[in-house]
Amino acid sequence: MLGVQVEELVVRLPRPGAASKTLFSIPRWRVEPSARVCIAGASGSGKTTLLHVLAGLRHPSAGRVTVGQTTLTDLEETARDAFRARNIGLVFQTARLLPALTALENVALAASVAGIARAPARERARALLEQVGVAARASGRPTELSVGERQRVAIARALAAEPGLLLADEPTASLDPARTDGTITLLHDIAERHGTTVVLVTHEREVQARFDTVIRLEDLITTPSAESA
């Protein structure tokens, strides 16, 4: 389980032929280890960008992001990649499974990227698919799975490296209400079982209602429309 600490974070968006625009700026924010936090906010407010910054996929314009004991913003890109592979699981709006691989292989791939050997990676993938309830579809390719099944496989993939931090970006955006509920329950169960810290962003009120801690992005940021030179 890994906590997250954000200090003096600034994300600016470049604009062709004009000064860059500050998307958001967060003076200080902390997520405790094993916490399950939902970030709410309107579309375009920067929720996904914040998640990308926390994952080390995007370098902020200023500030520090620390995950566990590691300051991501101090790391070179290759080191950030390696850190993310081992410590951060990502779930996207759509499952983003590789079509050439089976469900099992998609999950095992994430474990392999994290440095886990082939056989243990497959074992872990099998166990995770069992946990998310799609073990019977392990040899199915993404095109043979339903949308809900794909998203469950994606959750299993996010957990393949046994990450201390799980970042989920609108993971139920493509699901119907029944599947949405099931997916959120699954996320909670898995996080509970593995002690994983969860940061989930969503604009869906039903999803927000399933979290004890809901933070509006607007409450975190200070100068949402500040211009910088």
Partner 1 sequence: MTPWDLILRGLRWRWVATVLNGLGVALGVCVVCVVLLVQSDLRQRFEAPGRDYGLVVGAPGSAQQLVLNAVFHQGESPGVIPRSTVRELAEHRSTALAVPYAVGDSFRGHRVVATTEAFFDERFPHPAASRPKDKLAVGRSFGPPAAGVREAVIGVGVRDAIGVRVGDKVELSHGVEDGAMAHEHETLWEVVGVLEETGTALDEVVLIHLDTFLAMDEHAGGTPGVSAVLLFPRRGVHTATLLGELRQRSDLQVAHVATEVRRLLSLVGRLDALFLWVAWLVSIVSITSIFASSYLSTHARKGQFALLRALGLPRRTIVAMSVAEAAVLTLGGAVLGALLAHGLLWIGGGRIEHAVGFGPDPARLVWGEGLAVLAVVAAGACAGLMPGLRAFGDDVATLLSEVE
Task: Enumerate binding residues for partner 1 (CB under 8 A).
Answer: 48-49, 52, 55, 57-58, 77-78, 81-82, 84-86, 90, 92-94, 96, 98-101, 105, 108-110, 112-114, 118, 121
- The rounded distance, in Å, linking the Cα atoms of 9 and 146 is 39
Task: Tell the smallest beta-carbon distance from residue 151 to partner 1 (Å).
Answer: 14
| Per-residue burial over 42-70, b = 16 or more CB atoms within 10 Å of its CB, e = otherwise | eeebbbbbbbbbbbbeeebbebebbbbeb
Measured from the CB atom, the residue of 115 and 177 that comes closer to partner 1 is 115
Task: Tell the smallest beta-carbon distance from residue 100 to partner 1 (Å).
Answer: 3
Measured from the CB atom, the residue of 60 and 148 that comes closer to partner 1 is 60
Measured from the CB atom, the residue of 110 and 210 that comes closer to partner 1 is 110
User: Measuring CA to CA, how many Å separate 87 from each of 30, 31, 227?
Assistant: 17, 15, 34
Task: Tell the smallest beta-carbon distance from residue 221 to partner 1 (Å).
Answer: 18
Measured from the CB atom, the residue of 59 and 64 that comes closer to partner 1 is 59
Angle subtended at Cα 3 by Cα 219 and Cα 208, rounded to the nearest 5 degrees? 45
